[in-house]
Structure 1
Amino acid sequence: MLPTEYLPSGLALRGENPDDRPFLERLFVSNRAAEPGFAAWPEQMRHTFLVSQFDLQRCHYANAYAGGDFYIVEHNAGAVGRLCLFRTDHDVRVVDVSLTPQSCGIGLGSALLRAVQRQAGMQGKTVSLNVEMSNPALRLYRRLGFEQTGQSDPYWHMIWRPSTGVP
């Protein structure tokens, strides 16, 4: 768990539980529905497809990142996102960080990532992630000191090293 002192006032994390499924499904669908290619799909078809993708993602995360930390992000006591981390002896992998569209652009993502960087840095660990090459969050990751270390289309592999400091 990220220590609460690493998070700004009003921002909190709690572990995911089965009751969070409807929120997580809505979050996934709301973040993916606007992607290019989906806009022309009929609403019901798009929704059904995205829910199936959500189910596949959950299954993949449960298998590939068993033992990971799966959090619900709360802002002012309301659920606004998710943060999934997978820790190894040398790295903290940001598996997923997602916020509701209404919660984007107000500094919550930056605060979450800085908290992860701060904790990882105190432990001498790197922070790594993959990001789609067209994702606007790429600018945020670069601003926070993440460097591109490779690619596998359509993703950039990025890493932050404690030696670069926490922005």
Structure 2
Amino acid sequence: MSKLALAMRLMPHCPQLEFVPEQEADTAFLRDLYASTRWQEVSQVPWTDQARREFLYDQFQLQRDHYRKNYVGAELLVVRQHGQPIGRIYLYPSPREIRLMDIALVDSKRGLGLGRCMIEALMQLAREDAAEITLHVEPNNPALHLYERLGFRLIEERGVYHFLGWTPPGYTA
């Protein structure tokens, strides 16, 4: 599979979105996006907003380093709409599996069906490739309900995460 095979194949399924490889210039946007997805969690900690932000920025960098070290060849994509960055989707393809490493949208774009569009597009690609989709999700993540509605099943609990999978009809491992 080429470096951007999945990105190029996703675009026709979500024509309102563009999927582009992240660049160093995207770092500030991606860092703030990450912080926005975790802000509710850290808001429970008796820290200042600045301390919360610094903690989340550090966590972002740790996650970024982990992905680059452990998922060599992954498609780390910025999601754009009308030329503006609105999210990210990180995908790690292998011959029989598409790992949805991460998917996130800015607050103003959540709940509008864009995440669902991307996941359904991935499901179509998995059907075409006879591949399974797998992902990790925390049990309190609102996206868990979407994954369940789309037919993802619990494979196993892995620490604080549920490891979910979806297989196309007729899939054989």
- Gaps in structure 1 of 5+ consecutive residues: none
Is the counterpart of residue 101 in structure 1 residue 107 in structure 2?
yes
2 CA distance for matches of 1:164 and 1:28? 36
What does 1:65-104 correspond to in 2, within 5 Å? 65-104=71-110
1:37 CA drift (Å): 5.3
Secondary structure of residue in 2 paired with 1:34: helix
TM-score, with length taken from structure 1 = 0.93
CA contact (8 A) 2:136 2:163 kept: yes
**Alignment equivalent of 1:64, drawn from 65, 70, 94:** 70
Aligned residues: 164
Is the counterpart of residue 163 in structure 1 residue 161 in structure 2?
no
Aligned equivalent of 1:138:
144
Equivalent AA in structure 1 for residue 125 of structure 2: Q
1 CA distance for matches of 2:145 and 2:170? 17
TM-score, with length taken from structure 2 = 0.89
2 CA distance for matches of 1:97 and 1:87? 15
Measured on the aligned residues, the alpha-carbon RMSD in Å equals 1.6
1:22 CA drift (Å): 0.7
Equivalent AA in structure 2 for residue 153 of structure 1: G
1:30 CA drift (Å): 1.1
Q: Which moved more, 1:33-42 or 1:120-129?
A: 33-42
Distance 1:113 1:164, change over 3 A: farther
CA contact (8 A) 1:92 1:120 kept: yes
Runs of 4+ in 1 over 6 A off after TM superposition: none
